[in-house]
Amino acid sequence: METQFDYINILSKFSLAGELQSCVRYGEGHINDTFKVTMREEGGERRYILQRINHNLFQDVAKLMHNIELVTSFCRESVIKRGGDPLRECLTLIRTKDGAPYYFDGTNYFRVYVFIEGATSYQSVRSERDFYESAVAFGNFANLLSGFDASQLYEVLPDFHNTKVRYRNFLAAVEKDVCGRAKEVEREIAWVKAHQGLSGQIVDKIASGEIPLRVTHNDTKLNNVMLDDATGKGIAVIDLDTVMPGSLCYDFGDSIRFGCNTAAEDEPDLEKVHFDLGLYKVYLEGYLSAVGEGITEAEKKALPLGAVMMTYECGMRFLTDYLEGDTYFKTHRERHNLDRAHTQFKLVDEMLSCFPRMEEAAR
């Protein structure tokens, strides 16, 4: 294993039982460095996940781990109360021998989780069933945390889904036009401005108390769901680095934005880009079946709006980054962010054209 740290020494700081057998790089994540650890103990083996936290992105690791510690502890208690297996149905943090949720070696930050056995996370959807089960997993995640006071959490990425702030940032980018690109995207700028009314739809409902402040995952991709190897069912949600206070509509909406697009997020041929209403209904069914009483009627009613709003927000962010010189999202070709913006704008247009049917499905 190629590492730049003494993993034997690092692991010795955590409360792990048994003798270290191996520590190998694991998974396909691009943010943190992740390793699978195998410990030999009497009666067999026990496995863990060791992660070196990317503190360049998450600069306040104490706040990050505060969020994760609270959320995982609450999830564990909720799973136990309903008779489930907390070692498989939620992430379990292993503390250091000093009782801390992470270890700092003077340069890097590390944490350890129990490895979830008998389950796999997949990078892409293999079937409609996978999409449904990811919805079940995220609906269950929301249900487990429905009684949690989200105001206890820090915003590790401030205003991440404050679409009103995103809109102000967009206007500032248009005004400054640091790369001289505004002239070539006048049509796109006009489109964003014409749909400006979407930007306050969810944040205003939270502010007014119409919908409650909830724990949001904020990265609801399939690869953050563990699917049971035997049954294919979604059993746990992983990667809690971006858990923050927000709305269930954010997580639901982002899943729809990404999962119901018939093409790639950066597809330059817009003839291939369509909103799949059938997949929307599949995800909605799975989500509602699992979230149960963990969602209010007002939140349920706002789910379709969350899908439109999150897609609008994402497209606006792509366009903003294009205007600012492609400084945030990684690009691999000229006008890459513009292609991304175009796909999101088309999805919004198609969602709005069938919005009554989206609302009807959510009733």
DSSP-H helix ranges across the chain? 7-12, 61-81, 86-89, 128-144, 163-176, 186-194, 201-208, 248-259, 277-291, 297-323, 336-353, 355-362
DSSP state of 22: E
Instruction: Note the CATH number of domain 7-116.
Output: 3.30.200.20
Residues 55/61, Cβ–Cβ less than 8 Å: yes
Predicted pLDDT at 126: 81
Predicted pLDDT at 1: 41
Predicted pLDDT at 43: 80
Q: Residue with structure tokens 């950066």? A: 266
Burial of 10-41, coded b for 16+ CB within 10 Å and e otherwise, reads: bbebbebeeeeeebeebbebeebbbbebbbee
Predicted pLDDT at 334: 94
DSSP state of 335: T
Predicted pLDDT at 307: 97
Look at residue 195 and give its three-state secondary structure.
coil
Predicted pLDDT at 57: 83
Residues 211/113, Cβ–Cβ less than 8 Å: no
- Which pLDDT tens digits describe the chain residue by residue (363 residues)? 445 689 999 999 999 989 999 999 998 776 899 999 999 988 889 999 999 999 988 889 999 999 999 999 999 999 999 999 999 999 999 999 999 999 999 999 999 999 999 999 987 778 899 999 999 999 999 999 999 999 999 999 999 999 999 999 999 999 999 999 999 999 999 999 999 999 999 999 999 999 999 999 999 988 899 999 999 999 999 999 999 999 999 999 999 999 999 999 999 999 999 999 999 999 999 999 999 999 999 999 999 999 999 999 999 999 999 999 999 998 999 999 999 999 999 999 999 999 999 999 999
pTM of the model: 0.93
Q: Which CATH number fits domain 128-362: 3.40.630.30, 3.90.1200.10, 1.10.10.10, 3.30.1280.10?
A: 3.90.1200.10
Torsion of CA 152, 157, 161, 165, to 10 degrees: 110
Report domain extents, the chain.
Answer: 7-116, 128-362
Residue type, 24: V
